């Protein structure tokens, strides 16, 4: 379809143009029509991305360097974009989900005073993310990586007049910055250890010849960046607070543009990770543990969007579990990465859908999203209800029908295979597999707990909703329906048929890391599917039993286990622990340094300022306004000069 | 009587310069100070011509020509300035311009101020004859243009 790689520039270029246009013309000229540049540009870039995807599947591998950004020593950093199978998948995911979110926002943000600003920032976000997946070297990737961070800061803090939103934005920015520092050091280490160059093509093949220690350090540092961006333990604390932004922003951050960046980075660097089993083990452990921890926290949250936020953290944990399970010994890298990216793809659909549906609920309920105050909305908002149900089914991995089942099952299969006897650290992997299986049950439980609490039971509408709680307008419902269709069918179309894996393998993996691919095909594991189905169905059934049949029982259970309940409800006190261990010591240090600066450093600075003044004070009597005195001084000066000449 | 030597000229120049310098330092009348400065200048000019003569070239002479030109200009400016200063203070005493000192410096006051300037002696006038015509009182502005 496309032959010229220059077409790639339009994919990030159009949203950037839209962002600039909206930013400059929005407040004066476009006003209520400010969504047009953003929506059109993102849809156009989605169309281009689909075109590029089609071209990639017929063998097109584009690389285009527009100019050299900078040149230092013997390394050229070019502003260059490339596309291969992985990038094509990411592009389609990001722009497709982004388009529907942009359309949904027209209805959701209608009448907001910051309307143009919102759409300018959304376009910029899509620009940064598409640039990130298209970048051809680590420096450009890092630049876009920071761009994504900036946009998330702007959008999480969209209601910046609200102190909690401003704090959440600051938290999101600073916590992800912690990871970014690791990423930066990792990139520098790549330059010294695997360099001297930073573009993927020359760095990646050197991974297998590097010394294991250095390679492990590189991988772990890169993974630090991913941990921050993709909200893995212990840097996951920013994501639940990021709910302070408007709901479509949450959808965008959780599904398309932000948290997937970390997964993309690790997947992109598979040729490095694949040769460092210990780094992979760390990735898998962090992923599995995060998945489990977040699921535990999600069990007791009462804020619908917060439940969804923890489910995102948990699902991202699954993806990292898969990425970390692709050990080189078993030639699992191919299916592991494919499983992770497949889960990323399906997750993008159903998580965007769930957030948009939650936003629709919030829109109708006058901004109330606390599940203790709403309930029984399935009659009030029928379309939102069944689309949410599609998303919940997919998230909980309801067997066969929903997409989440297929992708999650592949991840569990990879973890199981990594735990086969005889392979590296197999006992840990088998433990992680079991953890994943339990988490699948927990996921199903908390997802349907949220679903039942919101849409079933007696109808409860908070007073903020006004007299007539109503279904959202069509501009919000159509995106919900489209994404619901994706959440349902994406899995069954792409999962069992193996199209997705095949596409990634042919158009990316075979060129990128042929040595990590197996000689034989892997096939699905039926007992495993049955087991994960049972866990999912068990979770859903338990949720139904506790929240529909016996609503009192849940409360009794919470009272019977006060310690566990409080632990989960307060997010294992992780925020408090971080506050005590990190924030408070740093604040103390900052306070000490402030005092030090104010009284010690500043006094030296003041000294240099006062010294000329004192000197001036000494010399000031000379300027007494008497002309004869000046003349006398001149004569004396002349006399002194002459004397010095004569005496020499 | 022996012919004049270089030393004689230089001595005259030095005396002129010294007188001018003493005059400049000792007197407070602006015009006298100015004249003293001119005298110093002439001392220097005399030195230059003497050296030029002694060395047998014209450089010193040329220098003096420039010096005279500059001195003429300077005289014009200096006199104009003195005129303006006089108009403001009605006095040529340079110590009245002490307020151009630094803000926090105390003024140098005369322990024995100058005696007041004597009234100008009235010019002899003819006795008016006949009836004196009515004429306007000369305004302050016009008077100050004297």
Q: Which tens digits make up the pLDDT trace of B28-61?
A: 899 999 999 999 999 999 999 999 989 998 999 9
Task: Kindly identify which residue of chain A lies nearest to residue B30, measuring between CA atoms.
Answer: A627
pLDDT of A420 reads 76
Q: Cβ(A425)–Cβ(A281) under 8 Å?
A: yes
Q: Assign 3-class secondary structure to A510-527.
A: HHHCHHHCCCCCCCCCHH
For residue A280, give the nearest of A516, A452, A550 by alpha carbon.
A516
CATH number for the domain harbouring residue B53: 1.10.287.3510
Name chain B contacts of A621, Cβ cutoff 8 Å. 102, 105
Please state the rounded mean pLDDT for residues B85-109: 85
B94 contacts in A (CB within 8 Å)? 627-628
Say if A558 falls within a structural domain.
Answer: no
Nearest to A319 by CA among A398, A393, A255: A255
Minimal Cα–Cα distance from B107 to chain A, Å? 7
Contacts with A618 (C-beta within 8 Å, 6 or more apart), sequence order: none
B94, A621: Cβ pair inside 8 Å?
A: no
pLDDT computed for residue B126 by the predictor: 77
Interchain CB distance below 8 Å, A625 and B28: no
Cα separations in angstroms, A430 against A263, A295, A325, A364, B116:
22, 19, 10, 45, 116
- Cβ contact (<8 Å) for B101 and A631? no
Are the beta carbons of B98 and A626 separated by less than 8 Å?
Answer: yes
Q: Is residue A591 part of a domain?
A: yes
| Chain A touched by B103 (CB under 8 Å) | no
Q: Find chain A residues with C-beta within 8 A of B29's C-beta.
A: none
Cα B31 to its chain centre, rounded Å, is 3
- Residues in A touching B108 (Cβ below 8 Å): 624-626
Is B84's pLDDT higher than 90? yes
Specify the pTM.
0.75
The whole-angstrom distance between residue A82's C-alpha and the CA centroid of its chain comes to: 22
Range of the domain at B23: 6-91
- Flag whether residue B59 sits within 8 Å of chain A, measured between CB atoms: no
- For A623, the closest chain B residue by CA position comes to B101
Mutate to test the interface with B, among A613, A620, A627, A642 (most CBs of B within 10 A): A627
- How confident is the model at residue A581, as a pLDDT? 83
3-class DSSP state of A647: helix
> What's the pLDDT at A468?
65
Which residues on B lie below 8 Å from A623 (Cβ)? Answer: 101-102, 105
> What are B93's strand-pairing partners?
B29
Q: Does residue A76 sit in the same domain as residue A210?
A: yes
A636 neighbourhood in chain B, CB within 8 Å: none
Question: Of the candidates B26, B28, B101, which has its C-beta nearest A624's C-beta?
Answer: B101
Pair A79, A201: CB distance under 8 Å? no
Let me know: does A332 contact A417? Beta carbons within 8 Å.
Answer: yes
C-beta atoms of B94 and A627 within 8 A: yes
From chain A, pick out residues whose CB is under 8 angstroms from the CB of B33.
Answer: 627
Same domain? A596 vs A484:
no
- The answer to whether residue A528 sits within a structural domain is no
Interface test with A, best of B14, B78, B92, B101 (most A CBs within 10 A): B101
CB A123 within 8 A of CB A41: yes
Low-confidence residues of chain A, pLDDT below 50?
none
Closest-CA distance of chain B to residue A606, Å = 23
Beta bridge partners of A303: A370
Interface membership of B24 toward A (CB under 8 Å): yes
Whether B141 contacts chain A with CB within 8 A: no
Close Cβ partners of A231 (under 8 Å, ≥ 6 residues apart): A238, A239, A259, A312, A313, A316
pLDDT of residue B82: 93
* Structural domain harbouring A613: 576-647
Structurally, chain B folds into a number of domains equal to 1
* Any domain includes B102: no
Same domain as A584, residue A509: no
CA A24 to chain centre: 28
Residue of A621, A625, A628 lying closest to B25 (CB–CB): A628
Paired tokens of A580: 């005590």
Torsion of CA A496, A500, A506, A510, to 10 degrees: -90
- Alpha helices (runs of H) in A513-573, residue ranges in sequence order: 526-544, 551-560, 562-569
> What is the DSSP annotation of A575-622?
HHHHIIIIIHHHHHHHHHHHHHIIIIIHHHHHHHHHHHHHHHHHHGGG
Q: Which of A625, A630, A631, A642 to mutate to test the interface with B (most CBs of B within 10 A)?
A: A625
Domain boundary among A529, A551, A569: A569
Q: Which residue of A has its CA nearest to B98?
A: A625
| Interchain contact B144–A (C-beta under 8 A) | no
State how far the Cα of A14 lies from the Cα of A20, in Å rounded to an integer.
Answer: 10
Query: Each residue of A140-172: b (16+ CB within 10 Å) or e?
Result: bbbbbbbbbbebbbbbbbbbeeeeebeebbebb
Structure tokens at A161: 């007049």
Tell me how close the Cα of B97 comes to any Cα of chain A, in angstroms. 7
What is the DSSP code string of A452-497?
Answer: HHHHSSS-B--GGG-S---PPPHHHHHHHHHHHHHHHHHHHHHTTT
- How many angstroms away from the CA of B43 is the closest CA of chain A? 16
**Higher pLDDT, residue A135 or B146:** A135
| Residue A617: closest C-alpha in chain B | B104
Instruction: Find where tokens 């330092």 sit.
Output: B25
Tell if the CB–CB gap between A625 and B99 is shorter than 8 Å: yes
Q: Report if residue B64 sits inside a domain.
A: yes
- Distance in angstroms (rounded) separating the CA atoms of residues A477 and A108: 11
Determine the residue among B17, B18, B24, B28 to mutate to test chain A binding: the one whose Cβ has the most chain A Cβ atoms within 10 Å. Answer: B24
Residue of B nearest to A616 (CA): B102
Q: Are A414 and A325 in contact (CB under 8 A)?
A: yes
| Inter-chain CB proximity A626 and B99 less than 8 Å | no
E strand or H helix that includes residue A111: none
The confidence band for B143, taking pLDDT boundaries of 50, 70 and 90, is: low
Cα–Cα distance for residue pair B132/B109, rounded to 1 Å? 48
Taking CA–CA distances from A619, the nearest residue in chain B reads B102
Are A474 and A601 found together in one domain?
no
Q: Note whether A506 and A584 are same-domain residues.
A: no
Domain count, chain A: 2
Is A501 part of a structural domain of the chain?
A: yes
Q: Token match 């002459």: residue?
A: A642
Interchain contact, B94 vs A620, CB within 8 Å: no
Confirm if A135 and A91 have CB atoms less than 8 A apart.
Answer: no
- Same domain assignment for residues A159 and A90: yes
Task: Decide if B33 touches A, using CB distance below 8 A.
Answer: yes
Interface mutation vs chain B, best among A613, A623, A624, A629, most B CBs within 10 Å = A624
Q: Are residues A509 and A592 in the same domain?
A: no
Question: Does residue A623 belong to any structural domain of this protein?
Answer: yes
Q: Do A624 and B99 touch (CB under 8 A)?
A: no
Asked if B33's CB is within 8 angstroms of A625's CB, the reply is: no
For residue A626, the chain B residues in CB contact (below 8 A) are 95, 98, 101, 108
Judge whether A179 lies within some domain. Answer: yes
- In the block, residue with structure tokens 């450009």: A140
Q: Give the one of B33, B97, B102 whose C-beta lies nearest to A623's C-beta.
A: B102
> Pick from A503, A537, A569: which residue ends a domain?
A569
Query: Is any Cβ of chain A less than 8 angstroms from the Cβ of B107?
Result: yes
Count of other CB atoms within 10 angstroms of residue A2: 17
Flag whether residue B110 sits within 8 Å of chain A, measured between CB atoms. no
Residue A548 lies inside a defined structural domain of this protein: no
> How far apart are the CA of A615 and the nearest CA of chain B, in angstroms?
15
A627–B105 C-beta distance less than 8 A: no
**Which chain B residues are Cβ-neighbours of A616 within 8 angstroms?**
none
Query: Cβ contacts (< 8 Å) between A637 and chain B: which residues?
Result: none
- The one-character DSSP state at A196 is S
């Amino acid at each position: 379809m496309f032959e010229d790689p220059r077409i790639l520039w339009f994919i990030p270029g159009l949203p950037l143009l839209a962002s600039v246009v909206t930013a400059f013309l929005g407040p004066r000229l476009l006003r209520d029509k400010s969504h047009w540049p953003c929506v059109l540009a993102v849809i156009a870039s989605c169309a281009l991305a689909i075109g590029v995807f089609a071209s990639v599947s017929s063998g097109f591998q584009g690389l285009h360097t527009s100019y050299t950004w900078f040149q230092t020593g013997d390394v050229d950093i070019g502003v260059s974009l490339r596309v291969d199978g992985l990038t094509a998948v990411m592009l389609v995911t990001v722009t497709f989900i982004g388009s529907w979110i942009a359309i949904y926002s027209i209805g959701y943000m209608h009448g907001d005073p910051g309307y143009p600003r919102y759409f300018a920032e959304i376009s910029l976000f899509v620009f940064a993310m598409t640039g990130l997946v298209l970048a051809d070297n680590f420096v450009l990737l890092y630049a876009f990586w920071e761009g994504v961070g900036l946009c998330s800061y702007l959008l999480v803090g969209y209601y910046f007049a609200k102190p909690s939103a401003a704090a959440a934005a600051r938290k999101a920015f600073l916590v992800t910055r912690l990871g970014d520092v690791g990423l930066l050091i990792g990139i520098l280490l790549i330059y010294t250890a695997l360099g001297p160059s930073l573009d993927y093509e020359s760095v990646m093949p050197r991974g297998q010849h590097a010394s294991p220690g250095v390679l492990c350090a590189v991988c772990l540092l890169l993974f630090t960046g991913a941990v921050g961006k993709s909200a893995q333990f212990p840097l996951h604390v920013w994501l639940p607070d990021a709910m302070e932004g408007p709901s479509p922003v949450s959808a965008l951050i959780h599904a398309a543009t932000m948290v997937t960046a970390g997964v993309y980075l690790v997947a992109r660097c598979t040729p490095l990770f694949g040769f460092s089993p210990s780094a992979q083990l760390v990735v898998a452990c962090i992923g599995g543990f995060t998945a489990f921890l977040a699921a535990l926290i999600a069990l007791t949250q009462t804020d619908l969007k917060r439940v969804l936020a923890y489910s995102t953290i948990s699902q991202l944990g699954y993806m990292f579990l898969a990425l970390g399970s692709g050990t080189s010994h078993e030639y699992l890298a191919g299916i592991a990465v494919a499983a992770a990216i497949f889960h990323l793809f399906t997750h993008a659909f159903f998580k965007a859908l769930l957030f948009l549906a939650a936003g629709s609920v919030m829109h109708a309920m006058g901004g109330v999203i606390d599940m203790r105050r709403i309930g029984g909305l399935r009659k009030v908002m029928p379309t939102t209800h069944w689309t949410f149900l599609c998303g919940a089914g997919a998230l909980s991995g309801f067997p066969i029908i929903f997409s989440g089942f297929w992708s999650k099952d592949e991840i569990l299969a990879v973890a199981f295979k990594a735990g086969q006897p005889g392979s590296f650290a197999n006992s840990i992997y088998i433990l992680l597999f079991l953890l994943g299986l339990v988490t699948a049950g927990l996921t199903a439980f908390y997802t349907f707990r949220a679903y039942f609490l919101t849409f079933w039971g007696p109808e409860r509408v908070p007073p903020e909703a006004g007299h007539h709680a109503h279904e959202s307008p069509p501009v919000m419902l159509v995106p919900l329906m489209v994404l619901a269709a994706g959440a349902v069918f994406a899995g069954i179309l792409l999962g069992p048929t193996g199209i997705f894996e095949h596409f990634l393998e042919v158009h990316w993996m075979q060129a990128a890391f042929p040595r990590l691919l197996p000689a034989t095909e892997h096939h699905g594991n039926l007992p495993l599917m049955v087991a994960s189905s049972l866990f999912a169905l068990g979770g859903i059934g338990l949720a139904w039993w506790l929240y529909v049949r016996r609503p009192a029982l849940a409360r009794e259970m919470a009272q019977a286990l006060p310690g566990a309940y409080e632990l989960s409800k307060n997010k294992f006190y992780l925020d408090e622990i971080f506050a005590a261990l990190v924030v408070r010591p740093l604040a103390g240090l900052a306070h000490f340094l402030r005092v030090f600066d104010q009284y010690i450093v500043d006094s030296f600075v003041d000294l240099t300022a006062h010294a000329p003044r004192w000197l001036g004070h000494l010399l000031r009597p000379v300027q007494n306004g008497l002309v004869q005195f000046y003349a006398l001084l001149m004569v004396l000066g002349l006399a002194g000069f002459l004397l010095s000449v004569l005496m020499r | 009587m022996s012919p004049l030597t270089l030393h004689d000229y230089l001595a005259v120049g030095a005396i002129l310069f010294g007188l001018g310098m003493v005059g400049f330092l000792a007197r407070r009348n602006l015009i006298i100070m100015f004249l003293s400065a001119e005298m110093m200048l002439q001392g220097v000019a005399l030195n230059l011509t003497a050296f030029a003569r002694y060395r047998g070239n014209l450089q010193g002479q040329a220098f003096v020509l420039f010096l005279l030109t500059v001195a003429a200009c300077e005289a014009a400016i200096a006199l104009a300035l003195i005129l303006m200063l006089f108009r403001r203070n009605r006095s040529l005493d340079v110590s009245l311009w002490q307020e151009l000192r630094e803000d926090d410096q105390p003024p140098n006051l005369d322990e024995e101020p100058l005696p007041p300037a004597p009234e100008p002696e009235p010019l002899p006038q003819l006795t008016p004859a006949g009836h004196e015509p009515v004429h306007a009182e000369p305004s302050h502005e016009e008077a100050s243009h004297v």
